[in-house]
């Protein structure tokens, strides 16, 4: 007997579902699972590319271009897409990561940078989760949410802001699971390591792969597959859970061959810790 992920033509919103990386993989995976897909992105060219991809996959798709750190604009964009597709039964929050100026020694932390990182990784997700869940509760509909976290939530040098934001996202998601469980809304996370995307680089990066027990970087589709499981009814009794999709790097460095001499370099460690999740 085969087991298939089926989102049963239910509307699914992917925040950050464009750009060719994890978000695009999420949107395509949701389409293949039968969902009606809404995508929020910050660039019209990315929105057009995603509409074309999902159209070729044979799914109904609607997109909106928005700065997700602008609360009013984000709320309006979600409402706009919901008016076209219907209330979202599924939500995936993908936007995240750091800008080049957001790597700091904590003793020299710039709070403008801190606020920017929190807005990009935690604050917007709180808004989108609130908006989707509030509509579901009002309409007495069940649903599921997946937030994308990172191994950095456990703490990573030079990334105290990012670590705090992702740790906060994990804690907030567990609180949501507790609050919204009685309404039939499940909230889970996927925690990713380093993934090959256009933003983080699609080369093998052997100095990074040497630190991963599976000896390779992840693929966007591997993250999307895990998220689709958590969204679907196959995970109907799973909520408040963080699923690691990181090649086991969260457990430590691999045994066997000697770890690459580059593994102690601060710049490599910082790059390795940022999954580039959008």
pLDDT tens profile 237-271: 999 999 999 888 767 666 655 444 444 444 544 44
pLDDT tens profile 198-221: 777 767 778 777 888 888 888 999
Measuring CA to CA, which residue among 171, 174, 153 is closest to residue 162? 153
Residue 3 CA from chain centroid, whole number: 24
Give the residue ranges of the chain where pLDDT is below 70: 1-2, 202, 250, 252-278
pLDDT value at residue 277: 46
Active-site positions read 162
For the whole model, what pTM was predicted? 0.88
> Would residue 115 be called left, alpha or beta, if left means φ above 0 and alpha means ψ between -120 and 50 degrees?
alpha
Could you tell me what percent of the chain has a pLDDT over 90? Answer: 68
Q: Which helix (H) or strand (E) holds 72?
A: helix 71-85
């Amino acid at each position: 007997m085969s087991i298939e992920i089926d989102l049963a033509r239910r509307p699914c919103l992917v925040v950050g579902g464009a750009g060719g990386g994890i978000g695009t993989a999420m949107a395509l995976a949701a389409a293949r699972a039968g969902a009606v897909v809404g995508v929020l992105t910050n660039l019209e060219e990315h929105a057009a590319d995603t509409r074309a991809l999902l159209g070729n996959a044979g799914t109904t798709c609607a997109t909106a271009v928005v700065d997700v750190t602008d609360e009013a604009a984000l709320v309006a964009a979600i409402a706009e897409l919901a008016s076209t597709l219907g209330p979202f039964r599924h939500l995936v929050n993908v936007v995240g990561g750091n800008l080049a100026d957001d790597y700091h020694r904590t003793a020299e932390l710039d709070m403008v940078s801190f606020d920017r990182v929190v807005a990009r990784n935690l604050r917007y997700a709180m808004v989108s989760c609130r908006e989707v869940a509030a509509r579901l509760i009002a309409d007495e509909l069940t649903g599921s949410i997946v937030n994308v976290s990172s191994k950095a939530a456990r703490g990573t040098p030079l990334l105290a802001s990012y670590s705090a934001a992702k740790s906060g996202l994990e804690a907030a998601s567990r609180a949501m699971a507790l609050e919204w469980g009685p309404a039939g809304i499940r909230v889970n996370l996927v925690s990713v390591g380093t993934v090959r995307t256009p933003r983080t680089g699609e080369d093998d990066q052997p100095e990074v792969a040497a630190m991963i027990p599976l000896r390779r970087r992840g693929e966007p589709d591997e993250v999307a597959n895990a998220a689709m499981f958590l969204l679907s009814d196959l995970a109907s009794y799973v909520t408040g859970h963080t699923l690691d999709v990181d090649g086991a790097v969260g457990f430590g460095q691999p045994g066997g061959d000697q770890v690459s001499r580059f593994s102690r370099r601060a710049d490599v460690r910082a790059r390795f810790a940022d999954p580039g999740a959008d």
